[in-house]
Amino acid sequence: MSFPTHRPRRLRQNAAMRRLVAETRIHPADLILPVFVREGITEPVALQSMPGVVQHTRDTLKAAAAEAAGLGVGGIMLFGIPETRDATGSASLDPDGVLNDGIRAVKEEVGDSLVVMSDLCLDEFTDHGHCGVLTEGGAVDNDATLEIYGRMGVAQAEAGADLVGPSGMMDGQVAVIRQDLDDAGHQDTGILAYAAKYSSAFYGPFREAVDSQLTGDRKTYQMDPANRREALLEVSLDLDEGADMVMVKPAMSYLDILRDVADASDVPVSAYQISGEYAMIEAAAANGWIDRDAAVMESVLSIRRAGADTVLTYWATELARWIKEGRL
Ligand code: PBG
């Protein structure tokens, strides 16, 4: 009988020892809470496919931001759902439109205690649900869309966004937004580029969250899930164009991409744990098939371990509370 000379189990023998040697931690400041604000409602609307997530009124949005800030969450990412939509998404440019108004409300509420970010994309604002404007033939028109994105960036900066988050995957979007922000005197407004954003089935519940009008798919602009090398191209282009931070999205099915990007990037890397990732865990837990809290923690820890400096997650506020209570 020979005995092991190496005993890695020594460092796993109790919670204190495991805590000491943990290689990855989750801190509230690493978390970003995505939120939806909807025009024309007086009570929050619960989302069936995302239990626990709502479409906010202006007032409940402010309360959610204040709660997140109070628990030390790092940032908030706003999505707006307008009452009326048109072919060019013009409500996105209205300074009093639902998203720009929401940014202003949150900024007034939280000041600099939370980094305020806004989704910079047209899909919530167009009546066809695409992330850009369409040609007569129905294709998404890259360069005509860029012109609107640049103006959206300025409108969002003027409303008080600290970082704008272009998520439409149009070629050249970061450069145009950077140029327009600078020309308008918003040199200090940053860009969190959704650099490697894949065309994913896991966005499903988000379509309910923003009442999406989309028929068809986004495969001509979002990346093919088959591709890995292309993610590094997208990241390097966005960095050349002036991105301050880059994102990989979705997160859990793309941890290899996240690791590649984290290794290659000189700027902070975010990952977005998207609606479908949230819904899968909530649904399995609701059926009693997994331990909800343990699965939530493990999922976010895995995303951090794969290389994300910051994680967008619908559980951000809840996780921050658990951390404060010493459960993590
Ligand atoms: C585009 C956008 C989407 C999401 C974030 N920004 C939808 C899409 O690309 O189809 C999805 C987020 C999620 O699923 O949680 N404005």
Answer whether 0.80 is exceeded by the pTM. Answer: yes
Whether the Cβ atoms of residue 281 and residue 292 lie closer than 8 Å to each other: yes
The answer as to whether 14 is a domain residue is no
Instruction: Give the confidence band of 1 by pLDDT, cuts at 50, 70, 90.
Output: confident
Q: Collapsing DSSP states into helix, strand and coil, what is residue 214?
A: coil
The answer as to whether 243 is a domain residue is yes
Which atom belonging to ligand 1 lies closest to the Cα atom of 124? Answer: 16
Q: What are phi and psi of 82, to 5 degrees?
A: -80, 160
- pLDDT, position 189: 98
- pLDDT, position 152: 98
The answer as to whether 20 is a domain residue is no
The answer as to whether 197 is a domain residue is yes
Instruction: Give the confidence band of 327 by pLDDT, cuts at 50, 70, 90.
Output: confident
Which atom belonging to ligand 1 lies closest to the Cα atom of 274? Answer: 15
Instruction: Give the confidence band of 101 by pLDDT, cuts at 50, 70, 90.
Output: very high
Whose tokens are 């600078």? That residue is 182
pLDDT in tens, 199-258: 999 999 999 899 999 989 999 999 999 999 999 999 999 999 999 999 999 999 999 999
- Decide if pLDDT at 149 tops 90: yes
Active site residues per annotation: 197, 249
CA quadruple 27, 110, 60, 153: dihedral sign:
negative
Angstrom CA distances, 71 to 222, 316, 321, stand at: 34, 10, 6
Q: What are phi and psi of 170, to 5 degrees?
A: -80, 145
Q: Which residue has the higher pLDDT, 2 or 156?
A: 156
How high does pLDDT run on average in the chain?
Answer: 97
Measuring from atom 8 of ligand 1, which residue has the nearest CA? 203
Q: What are phi and psi of 302, to 5 degrees?
A: -60, -40
Cα 95 to Cα 250: distance, rounded to the nearest angstrom: 30
Q: So what's the ipTM on this one?
A: 0.96
The DSSP code for 252 is: G
Which atom belonging to ligand 1 lies closest to the Cα atom of 121? Answer: 16
Asked if residue 121 has its Cβ within 6 Å of ligand 1, the reply is yes
Query: Which of 50, 98, 130, 167 has the most ligand 1 atoms within 8 A of CB, as the residue to mutate?
Result: 167
The answer as to whether 18 is a domain residue is no
Average pLDDT of 104-120? Answer: 98
Measuring from atom 10 of ligand 1, which residue has the nearest CA? 203
Cα 235 to Cα 224: distance, rounded to the nearest angstrom: 15
- Ligand 1 mean position to 32 CA, how many Å? 15
The answer as to whether 17 is a domain residue is no
- Decide if pLDDT at 271 tops 90: yes
- Structural domain count, the chain: 1
The answer as to whether 226 is a domain residue is yes
The answer as to whether 231 is a domain residue is yes
- pLDDT, position 87: 97
Cα 279 to Cα 52: distance, rounded to the nearest angstrom: 10
Instruction: Count CA atoms closer than 13 A to 31's CA, side-chain side.
Output: 27
Average pLDDT of 112-126? Answer: 97
- pLDDT, position 51: 97
- pLDDT, position 126: 97
CATH number of the domain residue 119 falls in: 3.20.20.70
Helices (H), the chain: 15-21, 58-70, 98-110, 142-159, 173-183, 204-209, 229-241, 255-264, 275-286, 292-305, 316-324
Whole domain around residue 61: which residue ranges? 25-324
> Pseudo-torsion of CA 209, 210, 211, 215, nearest 10°?
-110
- Decide if pLDDT at 18 tops 80: yes
What proportion of the chain, given as a percentage, has pLDDT over 90?
96
Cα–Cα nearest to 271, from 253, 289, 297, 290: 253
Average pLDDT of 36-64? Answer: 98
Whether the Cβ atoms of residue 150 and residue 177 lie closer than 8 Å to each other: yes
